[in-house]
Structures are given as C-alpha cells and as structure tokens.
Structure 1
Amino acid sequence: MTKHIIHTNLAPEAIGPYSQAVEVDGFIYTSGQIGLDPESGEMVEGLENQAHRVMKNVMAILKAASSSNDEIIKTLIFLRNIEDFAVVNEIYASYLNEPYPARSAIEISKMPKDALVEIEVIAKKEA
C-alpha cells in the first residue's frame, strides 16, 4: 500500500499532526474540514458561512487530489447542535449532485476552534 499525501493552499493548513487528505489505491480520505478561511487561517462567523467554507475546503482538497464532488462515496458530518442539521444539509446538498453519497450526521459537544460544523469525505479519484 502506497499513501500519497494531498495538499493544497486553497484549503486550510493542517493544525496538527495530520494531512489534509491521503490517497490510497485511488481513494481519497479527507481529514475533517472546519470553517477555517485558508487565507487568514481564521474561523468564519456563523453556521451558514461555516458550512459553505467547509464545503469549499472539501472541494479544493478533492480538486487537488484529481477528484470532484461527483466522486464522493461517503460523508460524515459532525454538528455541535443536531438542531442545525436542516440548515447544514441544505448547504451541503447545494455542492453535490445526484446520486448522492452515503452520509452520517452526528452531534458532538466540542470541535476544534469552536467550530459549529465539520465534514470529512471519502471519494475516488477521477478516472
């Protein structure tokens, strides 16, 4: 098994001992993305802005990995408040096309940088 590390300046730098994403055997595994602006390194304000920024960060990483939103197989959404699911789900869906990937969504009590939403994906590399 050979791991290929994925990195782009169009998504936030890792803030710990991890990579933005790793590609193994044609599959891309992203680290969880929060609403950090890649230019400033600061968290954007508000749930909607964070959800859009998260998806933009995910899309930038997938592009750097020669993949796209159409290649996403599975997503995992972490929410600080599950009551925010409908808002985040609408924004999330606006970045995807049918057929949609498998998805899980869970509430957790605390995320890095006090994020309100975090999303990680598994995708395949475009042929």
Structure 2
Amino acid sequence: MTYPKAIGPYSAYRESGDLIFISGQLPLDPTTMEFASTDIKGQTHQSLSNIQAILKELGLQMDCVIKTTVLLADIADFAEMNEVYATFFSAPYPARSAFAVKDLPKGAKVEIEVIASKK
C-alpha cells in the first residue's frame, strides 16, 4: 500500500518521540495523483486509506490514531463523511475536530490529518 507524496514543501509525516504527526491527506490516488472519487464518501475513504498506508509503513494501525482533524469544503457533507470515517475506527475512538473551510487544495471536498502514538 502506498500513499501520495507531498504536493508542496512539507513532509507526509514526522515523528517526535512516540508521536507521529501525519500531514493533511487529500483524497489523491497515490498512483495517478488525481482524486480517487468526486463524491465525499469516496474522497473520505481515499484520505483515510492514505493515512492507513502511512501508518502501515511505520508498522502501525489505525487504532494508534489518537487525534484527527477533518477539514470539509462543505459542512453539509459531514454526515456522509462520518459514515465512512466510522468504518476506519473503533472504540475508543480518536479525539476529533471537524471544520468547514472556504477551500481545500486542488478543490478537494475533504482533507484529514492525524496524530498517532506508537504506544
């Protein structure tokens, strides 16, 4: 499983002690660097799959995620995003913030960043 390379002057992730800081993941297919889908569910799935791929590369799983930040281009997409999000996590769920923003890079509908712990 691969993940998209950063589209700017930043790292896809950084480690600090037991914490992993994963930069906001757009719903880019790592092979084509294009959006994997045009709808919010498909885009949420791809963003979280990209996060999962980074964690896997580090020998970690989604249950290592302790905090997420979800950025939505339209807050009306919250419920559909949440449906997909719920399939990637189980109790105890990570802490989460979700915001509607004016615009996202490349016109994405969603961008998700996480903090994970190696413990």
Same fold (TM > 0.5): yes
* Aligned alpha-carbon RMSD (Å): 1.1
Looking at structure 2, the residues matched to 40 and 16 of structure 1 have their Cα atoms a distance apart, in angstroms, of 17
Aligned identity (percent) is 46
Q: Deviations over 1:8-65 (max 9, x none)?
A: x701011100111001101100000011000011112221111110010010011112
Q: Taking structure 1 as the reference length, what is the TM-score of the superposition?
A: 0.89
Q: Taking structure 2 as the reference length, what is the TM-score of the superposition?
A: 0.95
Partner of 1:4: none
The question of 1:115 aligning with 2:103 is answered no
The question of 1:19 aligning with 2:11 is answered yes
Structure possessing the higher relative contact order (Cα contacts under 8 Å, 6 or more residues apart): 2
Partner of 1:101: 94
Looking at structure 2, the residues matched to 34 and 122 of structure 1 have their Cα atoms a distance apart, in angstroms, of 16
CA shift at 1:95, angstroms?
0.5
Aligned residue pair count: 118
Partner letter of residue 102 of structure 1? A
Q: Partner of 2:24: helix, strand, or coil?
A: coil
CA shift at 1:125, angstroms?
1.5
Q: Partner of 1:32: helix, strand, or coil?
A: strand
Q: Partner of 2:71: helix, strand, or coil?
A: strand
Unaligned runs of 5+ in 2: none
Unaligned runs of 5+ in 1: 1-8
Runs of 4+ off more than 3 Å: none
CA shift at 1:66, angstroms?
2.2
The question of 1:63 aligning with 2:56 is answered yes
CA shift at 1:79, angstroms?
0.3
